[in-house]
Amino acid sequence: MWTYDMLKNKKPELFSNNNAPYEIIEDSKQISSWQQQRRAKLASEGEPAEWADIGIVLNDPYVLVLRDLVRTSSGKITGYIRLINRADLDGGQGVIVLPVMDNRIILVRIYRHATRSWHLEIPRGFGNPGTPANDQAKSEISEEIGGKISELVPLGSVHSNTGIEGNKITVFLAKLSSLGNPELEEGIAKINMFSLPEVEHKIATSQITDAFTITAVYRARLNNLL
């Protein structure tokens, strides 16, 4: 179980203030003083006292949500939220994988709880502790669409939301030799195969809104792989 102090000790890079206009404050006295003042203000406004909590404010099996106390470049001191993928802390890696077969792009029709709607996407995963990115990519393809990979091409990394997420996601293109069935347990209803012009049209007309999918398609295209 990760704690805030463990993160500071074992993952100091997450708390680096090198050339940072948002300086993370680690002094316990400063934190306590700010929290006392913040809680008093929240109470006067009828707002939850936990909004003044500093440290890990959500310890989920998949992600940690941190609220750090920071000093901005103007000198303002405030709490700032960020999200950390747990797998990244334990030697794993989140991945997105663009599968292609017979010169066609494979997308899955998947239901997403966060948006409460269906999406066309490429396979992806949070990662698992101790699992390297290339092994995780192979697992996602096998588990989600029953695919066999003939070649796995690394396409660097991306940050999906720099405003809140603290992790990089590794991008791959996977050339498949075969395809299986959708993983119903993952909310996948159908496996679809599209030409590049069809995918680009769906992106242009907002039929594809998943940022990971859009990123992977254009990263592959810019590398002359599509």
55-106 pLDDT, tens digit per residue, is 999 999 999 999 999 999 999 999 999 999 999 999 999 999 999 999 999 9
CA dist., res. 122 & res. 108, Å (int): 6
- Categorize the per-residue pLDDT at 27 as very low, low, confident or very high, splitting at 50, 70 and 90: very high
The pLDDT score that the predictor gives to residue 162 is 94
101 beta partners: 104
- How much is the pTM? 0.91
CA dist., res. 44 & res. 208, Å (int): 45
Residue 187 has pLDDT above 90, yes or no: no
Q: Residue holding tokens 């992806």?
A: 124
Joined together, the tokens standing for residue 5 give 């102090």
Closest by CA position to 183, among listed 125, 100, 96: 125
The phi, psi pair for 168, rounded to 5°, reads: -90, 150
* Boundaries of every domain in the chain: 4-85, 95-222
The CA distances from residue 91 to 35, 59, 137, 181, in Å, are 33, 18, 15, 30
Rounded to an integer, the average pLDDT of 153-164 is 95
CA dist., res. 167 & res. 66, Å (int): 13
Domain 95-222, what fold?
Nucleoside Triphosphate Pyrophosphohydrolase (3.90.79)
Q: What is the mean pLDDT of the chain?
A: 95
Closest by CA position to 143, among listed 177, 112, 97: 97
Amino acid identity of 45? E
Joined together, the tokens standing for residue 221 give 């295209």
CA dist., res. 53 & res. 49, Å (int): 8
Task: Find the Cα–Cα–Cα–Cα dihedral 169, 16, 5, 92, rounded to 10°.
Answer: 20
